[in-house]
Amino acid sequence: MNEISLLSAFVMGLAGSGHCLVMCGGIASSLQLASKQLSAVIVTLLYNIGRISSYALAGSLVALLGASLAKQNTSLAIILQLMSGIFMVLVAIYVMRLASTLKWLESFAKSLIWQHIVKLNRYLVPVNTKTKAFCYGALWGWLPCGLVYSALTWTLQARSATEGALIMLAFGVGTMPALIVIGQSAQLLQKFINHLVTRIIMGNLLIWYGVYLIIIATDKLVH
């Protein structure tokens, strides 16, 4: 696997961690306050490990699907690569706050999937054990998120389930800092991530890689 893939996945997660604070920050902080049997640090770490584990599992499953389809149809494999590049550009536009390019994806997934998964929440509350903290994070790892789904489209071009899992693992690690340092530190980190210069730099990195994928895929289609 090209190292730039993992680096770009990490950058995508880091650049979008402000979005993660909105989506999951409240959940993580409420877990810290609600759990009296476990320390806040343990709860936060287990929650995030569970969440990222779900990302890795999803990445491996999507990669398996993509690899299976690619073996059956070479043109389809190229189209999947092209789609990965397009979604990368959409993420870059979202990160730079030029347009809400991922909202439609979240709305679609919420109506199709999340309304069923969230019902499992009642088996994990109150979060008073380490196992529940991990499982709670694993459950919320399936929360409809356009950023996560965009990263998953990238794993469609992965060559194996392991590679797909690693891409999503790198993405998940990028989202961790903002969710681990809940409180004042998180506010400072969010301020840095939301700074115009930071968003432009990260957005341009993602656009560069997205365009690179599109060019490679288009060249394969033409030839």
Which amino acid, one-letter code, is at 171? F
Q: What is the pLDDT of residues 76-89, one digit of tens each?
A: 777 777 877 787 78
pLDDT > 90 in the chain, percent: 11
Chain center to CA of 137: 14
Half-sphere exposure of 61 (CA within 13 A, CB side): 7
Angle between helices 40-72 and 26-34 (to 10 degrees): 140
Which of 21, 207, 223 has its CA nearest to residue 101? 207
Residue 185 pLDDT exceeds 60: no
Q: Which of 82-96, 99-113, 154-168 has the lowest mean pLDDT?
A: 99-113
Q: What is the pLDDT of residues 114-152, one digit of tens each?
A: 667 777 777 777 777 888 889 988 988 887 777 787 788
Q: Is the pTM of this model over 0.85?
A: no
Number of residues written out for the chain: 223
